């Protein structure tokens, strides 16, 4: 879609070489033509007036008018008396890029994981919080400020983490970041400076994300198996790693909770090995059939880096997260944040603080727990009706489930067949360090799928999920 400019006519970067021997008119025509062909100028987009363009190029208005007339004759432009000159609908421009997998039009249901309900983002509350934050924000807050982030937000987040996650949260050792990816990168860079050379990660888990972040920090990454009690700490110790990235409250993607015994083993390993745990607390707010699970960071604040974001609780687009840092790593994390981007946007930080302080954030979470619980129920009922016998796990918290297909099933074939029926299904193979498709599993995200779509989607593919 072309940008619709208002006010003065928009600028257009053209350059004339008066020493080239090519006529100025020919140069203008060629460059405008190439701008349209390359997509710099889109169909329907307005060009500068002949007067404005002539003034900017230092040529006569008549020359520009002649160029526009020639390009109109060639079908590139459309010009009407008293109206702006625009790129014609028949002009040749490159085709739009294909949408990424899972976002194509016409899907009956898309069970893409990791996405909250984007349609229920509390926009009115967020705009209210922005206005309130802007009204109370001192002029000094518009400066670069502390790379750790706004002291106001850090105080609020620390209180929230202590209250809700039983974390040992010190705002002086908290760093606001731009979501999980940056937070993980900052943590791994600080660990590398502390002498860590190898970081472990859960398998299944997020091998691509952790491996890429580790490589960027100059570290090697190794997988560690996960069982029904969480990460295998004995296997972790055997790797020789001095850091591990975990999702203990709701393991991604299996959904298991790190057991109390494993938590004690993990902390003992970290102390004995002079090692660190990077705790990804990604969706602990959404729980259904279990008691709240505290953060591991609250048990060993000197050995755990805890990462939190609002990507699941509010929306990924806000790009707001935070790290609770051990004393030995805090200074290096802050320095890497300063070098990375000087700090996250202050107004957004103040708005989040206001949203939490006002109680509107908690209200939104309560509403979403009810919504996701209803969708979880719809998923289970639909599977029981249309794919009886398929085991489902990982449903105690969050907004995804794991469907265990028959061992003889072909995970890739099921996904491809479902797509032919306009249903987006996603396997566990990308979550495995080897990429193996066996045993066949589906990770069914229901955060951004309505109950109606869940039922319709499962009905459409139910026969693909059971052995006939």
Is the Cβ–Cβ distance between 16 and 67 less than 8 Å?
no
Q: Where are the domains of the chain?
A: 1-97, 109-114+363-465, 122-358
Model confidence band, residue 167 (pLDDT cutoffs 50, 70, 90): very high
Dihedral of the alpha carbons of 37, 40, 41, 42, in degrees to the nearest 10: 80
User: Is residue 237 a contact partner of residue 217, using CB atoms and an 8 Å limit?
Assistant: no
Contacts of 13 (CB under 8 A, 6+ apart): none
| pLDDT value of residue 44 | 87
What is residue 9's predicted lDDT score, i.e. its pLDDT? 60
Q: Judge whether residue 388 has pLDDT over 70.
A: yes
* DSSP single-letter state for residue 287: B
Task: Average the pLDDT over 451-461 and give the result.
Answer: 97
Class of domain 122-358: alpha beta
Please write the tens of the pLDDT for every residue from 19-35: 888 999 999 999 999 99
Report the candidate in 86, 56, 61, 60 with the shortest Cα–Cα distance to residue 71.
86
CA distance linking residue 248 with residue 293, whole number of Å: 9
Residue 397: predicted pLDDT? 83
- Would you give the end-to-end CA distance of the chain in angstroms? 47
pLDDT given at position 8: 56
Q: Give residue-wise pLDDT tens across range 316-348.
A: 999 999 999 999 999 999 999 999 999 999 999
Which CATH architecture fits 1-97?
A: Orthogonal Bundle (1.10)
Mean pLDDT of 106-111: 92
Strand residue runs (E) in 260-303: 276-280
pLDDT value, residue 105: 56
What local confidence, expressed as pLDDT, does residue 74 receive? 87
pLDDT for 122 beyond 70? yes
The answer to whether 437 touches 429, Cβ cutoff 8 Å, is yes
Backbone angles phi, psi at 466, to 5 degrees: -115, 150
pLDDT grade for 286, boundaries at 50, 70 and 90? confident
pLDDT at 101: 46
pLDDT interval class at 103 (50, 70, 90): very low
Residue 173 has pLDDT above 50, yes or no: yes
Distance (Å, whole) CA 183 – CA 185: 5
Q: What is the pTM of this model?
A: 0.83
| Residue 179 DSSP SS3 | helix
Question: Which candidate, 251, 176, 243, places its Cα nearest to that of 206?
Answer: 251
Q: How far apart are CA 322 and CA 86, in angstroms?
A: 46
Which range has the worst mean pLDDT, 39-48, 343-352, 372-381?
Answer: 39-48
pLDDT at 109 over 90: yes
Confidence (pLDDT) at 212: 96
Per-residue b/e over 315-353, b at no fewer than 16 CB within 10 Å?
bbebbbbbbbbbeebbebbbebbeeeeebbbbebbbbbb
pLDDT higher than threshold 70 for residue 356: yes
Q: How much is the average pLDDT of 30-55?
A: 90
When pLDDT is averaged across residues 172-185 and rounded to a whole number, the result is 97
- CA separation for the pair 116, 372 (Å, rounded): 9
> DSSP secondary structure string, 314-347?
T-GGG--EEEE--HHHHHHHHHHHHHHHSS--HH
Across residues 131-148, what is the average pLDDT? 95
Q: What is the mean pLDDT of residues 40-62?
A: 90
Tokens representing 462 are 């139910």
Q: Cα(151)–Cα(281) distance, rounded to whole angstroms? A: 22
Helix (H, G, I), strand (E, B) or coil at 171: helix
pLDDT band at 282 (very low <50, low <70, confident <90, very high): confident
Distance CA 239, CA 140 (A): 49
pLDDT, the chain, mean: 92
From 210, 205, 115, select the one nearest 424 (Cα to Cα).
Answer: 115
Per-residue pLDDT of 434-448, as tens digits, reads: 999 999 999 999 999
pLDDT over threshold 70, residue 94: no
Q: Is the pLDDT of residue 95 over 80?
A: no
Q: What is the pLDDT of residues 407-432, one digit of tens each?
A: 999 999 999 999 999 999 999 999 99
Assigned architecture for domain 109-114+363-465: Alpha-Beta Complex (3.90)
Token pair in block for residue 8: 């003065």
**pLDDT reading at 248 higher than 80:** yes
**Spatial distance between the Cα atoms of 378 and 455, rounded to a whole number of angstroms:** 7
- Work out the pLDDT band at 300, boundaries 50, 70, 90: very high
pLDDT tens digits for range 254-280: 999 999 999 999 999 999 999 999 999
pLDDT of 349: 98
Contact 297, 168 (CB under 8 A): yes
Do the domains at 109-114+363-465 and 122-358 have one common CATH topology? no
Q: How large is the average pLDDT for residues 197-213?
A: 97
- Cβ atoms of residues 324 and 175 within 8 Å: no
Nearest-Å Rg of the Cα atoms of the chain is: 27
How buried is 251 (Cβ within 10 angstroms: 0-12 exposed, 13-18 middle, 19+ buried)?
buried
Q: Are 147 and 462 in contact (CB under 8 A)?
A: no
| Residue 276 pLDDT | 98
* Structure tokens given for 245: 């990235």
């Amino acid at each position: 879609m072309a940008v619709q400019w208002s006010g003065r006519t928009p600028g257009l970067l053209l350059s004339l070489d008066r020493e080239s021997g090519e006529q100025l008119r020919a140069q203008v025509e060629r460059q405008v033509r190439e701008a349209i062909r390359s997509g710099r100028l889109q169909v329907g987009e307005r060009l500068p007036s002949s007067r404005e363009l002539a003034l900017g190029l230092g040529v006569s208005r008549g020359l520009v008018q002649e160029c526009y007339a020639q390009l109109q004759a060639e079908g590139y432009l459309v010009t009407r008396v008293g109206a702006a000159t625009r790129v014609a609908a028949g002009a040749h421009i490159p085709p739009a890029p294909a949408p990424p997998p899972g976002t194509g039009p016409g899907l009956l249901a898309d069970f893409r994981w990791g996405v909250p309900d984007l349609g229920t983002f509390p926009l009115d509350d967020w705009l209210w919080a922005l206005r309130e934050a802007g009204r109370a924000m001192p002029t000094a807050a518009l400066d670069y400020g502390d790379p750790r982030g706004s002291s106001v937000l850090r105080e609020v987040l620390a209180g929230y983490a202590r209250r809700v996650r039983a974390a040992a949260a010190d705002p002086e050792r908290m760093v606001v970041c731009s979501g999980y990816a940056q937070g993980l990168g900052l943590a791994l860079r600080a660990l590398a400076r502390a002498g860590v050379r190898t970081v472990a990660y859960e398998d299944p888990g997020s091998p691509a994300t952790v491996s890429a972040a580790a490589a960027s920090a100059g570290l090697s990454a190794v997988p560690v198996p996960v069982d029904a009690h969480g990460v295998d700490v004995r296997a972790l110790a055997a790797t020789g790693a001095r850091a591990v990235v975990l999702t203990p409250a709701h393991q991604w993607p299996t959904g298991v909770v790190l057991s109390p015994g494993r938590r004690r083993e993990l902390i003992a390993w970290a102390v004995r090995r002079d090692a660190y745990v990077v705790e990804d607390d990604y969706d602990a707010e959404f729980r259904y059939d279990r008691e709240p699970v505290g953060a591991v960071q609250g048990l060993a604040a000197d050995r755990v880096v805890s990462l939190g974001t609002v990507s699941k609780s509010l929306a990924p687009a806000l790009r707001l997260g935070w790290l609770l840092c051990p004393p030995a790593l805090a200074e290096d994390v802050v320095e890497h944040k300063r070098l990375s981007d000087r700090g996250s946007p202050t107004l957004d930080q103040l708005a989040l603080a206001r949203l939490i302080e006002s109680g509107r954030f908690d209200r939104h979470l309560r509403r979403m727990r009810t919504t996701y619980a209803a969708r979880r129920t719809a998923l289970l009922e639909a599977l029981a009706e249309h794919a009886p016998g398929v085991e489902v796990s990982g449903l105690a918290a969050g907004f995804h489930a794991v469907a265990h297909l028959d061992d003889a099933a072909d995970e890739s074939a099921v996904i491809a067949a479902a797509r032919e029926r306009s249903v987006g299904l996603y396997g566990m193979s990308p979550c495995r360090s080897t990429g193996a498709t066996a045993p066949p599993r589906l990770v069914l995200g229901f955060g951004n799928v309505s109950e109606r779509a869940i039922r319709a989607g499962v009905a459409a593919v139910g026969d693909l999920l059971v052995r006939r």
